[in-house]
Amino acid sequence: MQILGILAFVVALLLSVMIHEFGHFIMAKRFGMKVSEFFLGFGTKLWSTKCGETEFGIKAIPAGGYCKIEGMTPGDVMPEGEEARAFYTAKSSRKLVVLGAGSFLHFVLGYLLLFVLFACVGTNQVLPTIQEVVKGSAAQAAGFLPNDEVIAINGKKVTNWYDDVQVIRDSHGKELTITVKRESTTVVIKASAKIQNVDGEKRYILGIVNKIGLKRSGILTSIKNSGTVTWGFLTESVKSLKSLPSKIPALWGQTVGGEKRDPNGLVGVVGVARVSGQAIGSDSLSIVERLSTFILIIASLNIFVGLFNLLPVLPLDGGHMAVAIADEIRAFFARLRGRPRPAAIDVTLLTPITMVVFVILAALTVLLLVADIVNPVVLNL
């Protein structure tokens, strides 16, 4: 089962890559740019087919993919008569849309996965069904029983226990009218919550312990919750990127020194694949809980990768976007001075900087790869 989880992760990752590249492809075609190749993988070509002017195919090394847009730099030679279709001749606004489309679809995919999770699969939530009645509590005195399902409080239908329970906490000891479903009958119970110390906080409680289980949310609630969780993932991704340099020394110690791997530390693709395998192969989780965990992993990964690609450093998409923005800033100052628009920045001139960044990213990738193999992250499932 763990191998199945790893394979599922690999397939999901490759699909995410294809969707990212499709974002570049569709917007480049929308603006009339020439796209000559769209391949999944690198290295030796295994299969391809021509559709219009674009060759679609698969290559031997499944480590990503690419969409080849012609004329990325002024030095690229365009077919005669198609010079105007070169990427570097396009307006900066169009360049930004094409470059940002890949990350945008990562965010969309992450959001849609979360929507499927909330609306179709379900998430662990506190249910209005009573699992246990605390001995000596107001609930026991009032006649509540295990498996009673609270369907209304003071005449208001219970739709979300997390929110509806606040009526009990805000009751200040006043009598509550609680309607429960008991087997096939409906029972109305009068009860008054008692104030007690809960985790250092004074709170009015009845003394019931609710069941926790998977529950699907409605369409509108799923739309809202998906947006909230997406924003949460984005915020955490920003924090992770900010703290990334400070975590590298610890990663080195965990890789070379044999220190215990930090589950909240840096994890590479191999590590995430292994974690996915652990989640899907866990005997302590139900099938639906395994699926929910897998969807969360893939959704959060897409959001992180989308944000990472927007970092303003070459060779990432964000680096090319930064160059396009710099072009517009130069053009703005040229207009102020009454001068013609300067030529677009040739990114090949920035190759030394690009190579430094590439080497740093490659070294970090290798370090993560070694760490994920010799000292993998283990989930307590």
For 346-371, what is the mean pLDDT?
Answer: 88
The pLDDT, as a whole number, for residue 131 is: 94
pLDDT at 57 over 80: yes
The pLDDT, as a whole number, for residue 290 is: 87
The pLDDT, as a whole number, for residue 349 is: 86
The structure tokens 């994890």 sit at: 267
8 A C-beta contact, residue 300 and residue 110: yes
Backbone angles phi, psi at 192, to 5 degrees: -120, 125
Rg (CA), the chain: 28
| pLDDT band with cut points at 50, 70 and 90 for residue 381 | low
Kindly report the pTM of this predicted structure: 0.83
The pLDDT, as a whole number, for residue 347 is: 87
Q: Are strands 194-198 and 35-51 parallel, antiparallel or unpaired?
A: unpaired
8 A C-beta contact, residue 216 and residue 120: yes
What is the per-residue pLDDT across 280-323, written as a single tens digit (0 to 9) for each?
877 777 888 889 989 999 999 999 999 999 999 999 999 999 99
pLDDT at 53 over 90: yes
CA distances, 291 to each of 59, 114, 121, 252 (Å): 30, 12, 8, 33
For 155-183, what is the mean pLDDT?
Answer: 91
pLDDT at 103 over 80: yes
The pLDDT, as a whole number, for residue 26 is: 97
Most confident range (mean pLDDT) of 110-114, 242-246, 343-347, 364-368 is 110-114
| pLDDT band with cut points at 50, 70 and 90 for residue 260 | confident
**All domains in the chain, ordered by first residue:** 89-122+217-381 (no CATH), 124-215 (2.30.42.10)
Pick the closest to residue 194 from 177, 169, 161, 162 (CA basis): 169
